[in-house]
A and B are shown apart, each in its own frame.
Chain A
Amino acid sequence: DTEVTQTPKHLVMGMTNKKSLKCEQHMGHRAMYWYKQKAKKPPELMFVYSYEKLSINESVPSRFSPECPNSSLLNLHLHALQPEDSALYLCASSHEIQAFYGYTFGSGTRLTVV
């Protein structure tokens, strides 16, 4: 298995809703990442987990809450989002936090906040 799987592929939520994005990999990677990508822009790093511990938080608003239940799973909990949070949310993983080889992106979750 050489994939990073993200669910759901599409999500529409209201500003008062609570939802979660899920990411899963079975490549034995110990670093996992969340990115946010707006249209026609490069991905922007949000969070980095290394060995299931939060390593980097790029000053992301608290309405985004990451969670790493185990080495294969990464969640992003969403609450009280704003319309400007609508974007493509990408998960990625790599062997280690400093390893570029094996860096693999998921296919993303297209989030629309209404």
Chain B
Amino acid sequence: KNQVEQSPQSLIILEGKNCTLQCNYTVSPFSNLRWYKQDTGRGPVSLTIMTFSENTKSNGRYTATLDADTKQSSLHITASQLSDSASYICVVSATGGNNRLAFGKGNQVVVIP
């Protein structure tokens, strides 16, 4: 079973609208969680990173939240733009070990005019 589950799998939204992506994880002991944006055929680009003690972090129109108690995170996109069309990947790391990361399968977002 995947340790990081994302929903919805895909989403179509109108330009200018807001949307929220969900990430649930079972990785333990939790170290930190990062949201990446990945354009088709390109490498992932980091949007936000949060540790156990942080419950919200913003990067421009992107706002991530984290509830370490319920092991849930969300990524909110405000006033979407056509360039927001991409896959958004939730990645979680555990403390200790050798830095194996647990990747979600991504939320595929398509913004239409």
Residue contact B99 to A100, C-beta cutoff 8 Å: yes
By size class, the interface of chain B is 20 to 34
Is B78 an interface residue, CB under 8 A from the partner?
Answer: no
With both beta carbons as reference points, the residue of chain B lying nearest to A43 in the complex is identified as B103
The distance from the CB of A65 to the nearest CB of chain B, in whole angstroms, is: 21
Contact of A100 among B43, B93, B104, B108 (CB under 8 A): B93
A103 touching B34 in the complex, CB below 8 Å, given contacts A42-B103, A98-B99: yes
Q: Give the tally of cross-chain contacts (CB within 8 A).
A: 58
Instruction: Decide if A42 touches B105 in the complex (CB within 8 Å).
Output: yes
A105 touches B100 (CB 8 A): no
A45 to B102, CA, bound (A): 10
The answer on a CB contact under 8 Å between B98 and A98 is yes
User: Which B positions have Cβ atoms within 8 angstroms of A?
Assistant: 31-32, 34, 36, 41-46, 49, 87, 89, 93, 96-101, 103-106, 108
Given contacts A43-B103, A56-B100, 14 further A-B contacts (CB under 8 A): A40-B105, A40-B108, A42-B89, A43-B44, A45-B101, A56-B98, A90-B44, A96-B99, A98-B97, A103-B34, A103-B46, A104-B46, A105-B43, A107-B42
- List residues of chain A with CB under 8 Å of any chain B CB: 4, 6, 31, 40-43, 45, 48, 55-56, 88, 90, 94, 96-101, 103-108, 110
Q: List 23 A-B contacts (CB under 8 A).
A: A31-B99, A41-B105, A42-B104, A42-B105, A42-B106, A43-B103, A48-B99, A56-B98, A90-B43, A94-B99, A96-B99, A97-B98, A97-B99, A98-B97, A98-B98, A100-B32, A100-B99, A101-B32, A101-B49, A104-B46, A105-B45, A108-B41, A108-B43
